[in-house]
Amino acid sequence: MKRYFSITSIGDDRPGIVAAVSEVIYKLGANIEDSSMTILKGQFAMILIVSMDDGLDKGGFRGLREALGLHITVEELDRAQLDEHVVPSGTPHIISAIGTDKPGIVYGLSKLLSSKGINITDMSTKVIPGEDTPVYTMVIEITVPAGIEIDKVEEELSELGRELSVDFSLREVEVLGL
Amino acid sequence: MAILPVLRYPHPALRAKCKAVEDTNDEIRTLFEDMTETMCAYPGCVGLAAPQVGVVKRLFVIDVSRKIGPKKNHGLLKLLNPVITYSEGEKISREGCLSIPEFLGDVKRARRVILRALDESGEEIEVPAKGLEAIAIQHELDHLDGILFIDKVSSLGRNLIRRED
């Protein structure tokens, strides 16, 4: 019976982090099922889901903390939960946002979306230096369930945008089957 | 007419460089009919290239009107030995492929193209296409060179998406 583990790691970016982490995973006999890695404020952040037939020896990652200064966590995932997970269905849309940076933009937007049962499937935000004040940018992908009036969502987004001084734009992602 | 089995990656035919069609004959016309029927058997599918049904020849069918209706496209096209003679602009679209059904990917392609090809009776035609039709033409033309949309997914951001339907 396959077992699944999440591995998260963050630390000062430098060449060799992926090689070092994946070497440990390989030598422990685990298989990388899914992963995402990026640099946030100079920190190299990794999230991986790995699978193994046996337990994962967490001690194998200790050397990485010492050698590369990485903060690593390893947790076993609940297999039953993974098997039962149902992906929310709906139409993919993208919301992009640009405005003056201030606390509460992500909270305001995500509260609006969750109140309508809209699932966030991907999100990235960045603060970029502006002429006078920093500029906040965000691209977020959502799944809009059937039955939600998208015009109404757009209206509420505009209203929220006025409150937060952020320009939101919403568009459907066109999927071309070939 | 017949619905043909669609090959899935990693079948080697999907990586083959397809050969030009020398002669438009009944065999080719039957293949076009079968490929059209196969495309239409999949809801939302607007294009199918010969290597996807195991025939390594330079031909494909597209019909974008299945998705966007009759406006701004040529409807059903059966094209042999196609060549893009002009392209301009850029457009990123989320593409899926019957041969890699598990994933969708955001791919950047030209917004407008002009295609030169032979039709099923062997007459040379020119197809100026834009938008989704231009995207579909480029996707299918790539198939004839053994190129799949996953080869063109950019590494910037999360551009390859596990299909959820």
pLDDT at B164: 53
Contact B164 A87 (CB under 8 A): yes
pLDDT surpasses 80 at B149: yes
| Interchain pair B164, A178: CB under 8 A | no
* Contact check, Cβ <8 Å, B132/A173: no
Cα(B140)–Cα(B117) distance, integer angstroms: 13
Q: Is the peptide bond before B10 cis (omega within 30 degrees of 0)?
A: yes
pLDDT of residue B153: 86
Q: Which of B45, B158, B165 sits opposite A178 (nearest CB)?
A: B45
What is the mean predicted confidence (pLDDT) over B119-129?
96
pLDDT at B157 over 80: no
Q: Phi/psi of residue A81, each to 5°?
A: -65, -40
Q: pLDDT at position A54, please?
A: 86
pLDDT digit string, tens, across residues A136-159: 999 999 999 999 999 999 999 999
pLDDT at B20 over 70: yes
Segment (H or E) for B87:
strand B76-88
What value does the mean pLDDT take over residues B107-111? 94
Distance (Å) from the alpha carbon of A59 to chain B's nearest alpha carbon: 31
Q: B96 near B163, Cβ under 8 Å? A: yes
**Which tops the pLDDT comparison, A65 or B87?**
B87
| B164 in catalytic set | no
Three-state DSSP state, A109: helix
The mean pLDDT value of chain B amounts to 92
Sequence-distant (6+) residues with CB within 8 A of A162 are: none
Higher pLDDT, B92 or A130: B92
Query: What does the alpha-carbon distance between residue A48 and residue A56 come to, in Å, rounded to a whole number?
Result: 13
For A2-19, the pLDDT digits (tens) are: 999 999 999 999 999 999
Question: What pLDDT score was predicted for residue A130?
Answer: 77
pLDDT value at position B17?
A: 97
Question: Which tokens go with A72?
Answer: 């690593």
Cβ-nearest to A176 among B42, B46, B165: B46
Check pLDDT > 50 for residue B156.
no
Domains and CATH numbers, chain A: 3-84 (3.30.70.260), 91-172 (3.30.70.260)
Band the pLDDT of A88: cuts 50, 70, 90: confident
Chain A residues in contact with B94 (beta carbon < 8 A): 92, 173-176
Write down how long chain B is: 165
Among the partner residues A89, A143, A175, nearest to B104 by beta-carbon distance: A175
Query: Taking the model in full, what pTM does it have?
Result: 0.82
| Cβ-defined contact of A124 to B104 (cutoff 8 Å) | no
CATH number of B12-162: 3.90.45.10
Note the pLDDT tens digit of each residue in B59-106.
Answer: 999 999 999 999 999 999 999 999 999 999 999 888 999 999 888 888
